[in-house]
Amino acid sequence: MKKRFLGTFVFVLLIALGTLWGCSSTHSLLKKIRSSEPVLAKRVKVLPFLDETHLGGNLGNAFTREFVSKMRKIPFVILDEKPFDLSMPDNMKSPRFGIVTPKDFILKAEERGLNILITGVLNPVDVTSKRTGIWPFRGNAHFYEISVVVNLIDVSTGAVLFTRLESKKVSGSEEEYADSEKQFMTELIKDHMPKILKKQVSAITDVLEGIPWIGKVLSAEDKAVKVNGGRNVGIKKGYVFEVFSYGKWINAMNGRPYPVRSQKVGEIEIVSVSDEEAVARPLSGGPFTIGQVILLKH
């Protein structure tokens, strides 16, 4: 009886191990398949973070610099660091949930051929108080929640692709800010800024990797279709792109109209590549005209 039980147990254990090994192998195989797929670099612009802490000290600019320095390390991101000839309005306020989509900046980014616009909001520090400790040593403890919202905006449509709130809650006592609570909160923000932004950039990296690169047709003459991407974004000879034209417009829940890629025009194949542009030959469909959208097929 014991031998039969032991044999059954070993059999079940082997099946379980085999299942786990199979799942692990499948995951590894899928990872290899995904890693073999070409990931074209996205042209990204980071706008200055909106500082709503009202603490002074140029915290918004400090957050922006730290964020940009981390974004530079993403291999498939091309940062546009040339300033726009635009400035954020001094009285600009973050709307509900911290989603900022400045229309003028989106249009300017589209003129430059950018793919993604990133905006950020440094929210006001949320302060709560609570009695802590054991009598007779009880006292007032203050809890400070620092939070930053980051948004990814698709330049071609103006739609918010991704928004994320990252926060950190820390405690402090009355004695720690007896001289200046404002200074105490400023130091807290500076101390926790790197970790908060590191988590934001990590999440953004995953999102950007999964977003398809969107390019445009610059010209189409004598069966030569020029597109606005080259070696800088990772385009290579032999890549095939699907070409779309914007069709009808639809209204989103917020009432804003968005263009829809409703019609596939055809396909083109890259035949020559320069640093920032590439030339393709038509494979099917057409006609191809300036402004049409291209998406990598394979």
Rounded-to-integer distance, Cα 140 and Cα 175, Å: 10
**What are the pLDDT digits (tens) for 159-216?**
888 889 998 888 766 555 556 778 888 888 888 888 999 999 999 999 998 888 888 8
Cβ–Cβ under 8 Å, residues 205 and 162: no
Which residues face 122 on adjacent strands? 51, 148
Residue 30 backbone phi and psi in degrees, to 5? -65, -40
CB atoms under 10 Å from CB of 153, counted, come to: 26
Burial profile 84-93: b = 16 or more Cβ within 10 angstroms, e = fewer: beeebeeeee
Token look-up 């090994």 returns 21
State percent of the chain over pLDDT 70.
70
| Over residues 102-125, mean pLDDT | 87
| Over residues 17-37, mean pLDDT | 39
- Which residue did the predictor score with more confidence, 91 or 145? 145
Two structure tokens written together for 245: 């034209």
- Cut 0.85: pTM above it: no
Secondary-structure percent of the chain, ordered helix, strand, coil, rounded to 5:
30, 35, 35
Contact partners, residue 7, CB within 8 Å, separation at least 6 = none
Rounded-to-integer distance, Cα 100 and Cα 158, Å: 11
Among 113, 211, 215, 233, residue whose Cα is nearest residue 161: 211
Please tell me the predicted confidence (pLDDT) of residue 79.
Answer: 93
Burial of 238 (0-12, 13-18, 19+ CB in 10 A): exposed
Q: Which domains can be identified in the chain, with CATH numbers?
A: 42-210 (3.30.160.150), 214-296 (2.40.10.410)
Rounded-to-integer distance, Cα 195 and Cα 168, Å: 9
**What are the pLDDT digits (tens) for 121-145?**
999 888 887 766 566 666 677 788 8
Helix 59-71, helix 181-210: angle, nearest 10: 30
- Position 6 pLDDT exceeds 80: no
pLDDT band for 239, please (50, 70, 90 cuts).
very high
Please tell me the predicted confidence (pLDDT) of residue 273.
Answer: 96
Strand spans (E) along the chain? 42-46, 50-51, 77-79, 116-122, 126-132, 139-154, 160-173, 214-221, 224-227, 240-245, 249-251, 257-259, 263-273, 278-285, 293-296
